[in-house]
Structure 1
């Protein structure tokens, strides 16, 4: 079973995306901010990370920087943002501007995790 780390400071987004991923038979861990996401990434082994970009304290750009400088630096990362002009980080594998269709996110997750398999 493929394992996804989902990071977002908006609870509704976490719940919605988590439910969609569960329907595709992903195992999902969630984190409600970037720092908790980094801690979970370091403690786990994930096939994909999906992170909001604009979050208080530790944002998604710092999350992807941390992942790219880790021993598991090839883990695919999807960045989500309602403010795509703040996406200064080219280290994301894909970027989805909010709002997006869940189908697009699911297709992107499938492509990135099947490529890693």
Structure 2
């Protein structure tokens, strides 16, 4: 059974993603910020990480950078509802540059997320 770590500070979104993935047969762990997500991944690495970008304590961009440095083979899907820019790039572009393999702009439908997860885990 593939394992997924969902890192998002919004409880309702994290719960919806968890329920969707569990119904599809995934083993799901959760974290409410990047710092907690990294601690959980270090303790029990998963096959895939779904990482929100805008979070308190440690944002997703910093978390992706740390995760990919410590675990170069980790697979990350970055998600965000924020459309802010860093220079001329948006957060999702920066996430890809830091090592996220896929990005999704919130709101997205759960089938899109499932398709992205399945695609990442099959490669």
TM-score by length of 1: 0.93
CA deviation string 1:35-85 (max 9, x = no partner) = 100100111121000010000120111111111111x31111000011242
Aligned equivalents of 2:102, 2:109: Cα separation in 1: 15
The one of 90, 106, 109 aligned to 1:101: 109
Give per-residue Cα distances to partners, 1:4-26, cap 9 Å, x unaligned: 00000000001000000001110
After the TM superposition, which parts of structure 1 deviate over 6 Å for at least 4 consecutive aligned residues? none
- Partner Cα separation in structure 2 for residue 41 and residue 62 of structure 1: 15
Match of 1:73 in 2: 72
CA distance in 1: counterparts of 2:40 and 2:100, whole angstroms: 18
Q: Match of 1:82?
A: 81
* Cα distance in structure 2, aligned partners of 1:43 and 1:29: 12
Cα shift at 1:109: 0.1
Other-structure match for 1:17: 17
Unpaired stretches in structure 1, ≥5 consecutive residues: none
Aligned residues: 114
C-alpha root-mean-square deviation of aligned residues, in Å? Answer: 1.0
Task: Measure, in 2, the Cα distance between the counterparts of 1:23 and 1:104.
Answer: 15
